Amino acid sequence: MKKVLIVYYTQTGQAKQALDATLKPFEDNKNYQLDYLLVKPKNAFPYPWSYTQFFDAFPETVHGIPCELEPLSIDTSINYDLVVIVYQPWFLSICVPISSFYKLLKLNNY
């Protein structure tokens, strides 16, 4: 059995809908184990954003300044065959929650 970890962040739920539609054939196939990990910031980003909130997120996004995340529930003893990371770009950059996730992995030597 192939093990797949899907790490994702969605602000509106649309990314999760697209993800579910894309991975539907794999969920129906018993040869794959799909594990989902939702990356959630401790302080949720608003939607819809006000004008000020939108531009206030720009520096952190572009410079990769992390936000604090909710504790992650991932079994690090599992050796995944594939890791899929799903997010929407902000300001032509990786969104803050996912870049924070990357930094957390780096800090913990994963």
Q: Where are the domains of the chain?
A: 2-107
5-62, pLDDT tens digit by residue? Answer: 999 999 999 999 999 999 999 988 999 999 999 999 999 998 999 999 999 999 999 9
Q: Residue type at 53?
A: Q
Quote the pTM value. Answer: 0.91
How far is 96 from 101, CA to CA, in rounded Å?
9
Q: Is the dihedral of CA 44, 60, 104, 14 positive or negative?
A: positive
- Mean pLDDT calculated for residue range 92-110: 90
C-beta separation of 39 from 7 below 8 A: yes
For residue 41, the 8-state DSSP code is B
DSSP H helices in 3-82: 14-27, 51-56, 58-63
46-85, pLDDT tens digit by residue? Answer: 899 999 999 999 999 999 999 999 999 888 899 999 999 9
Q: Per CATH, is 2-107 categorized as 3.40.50.2000?
A: no
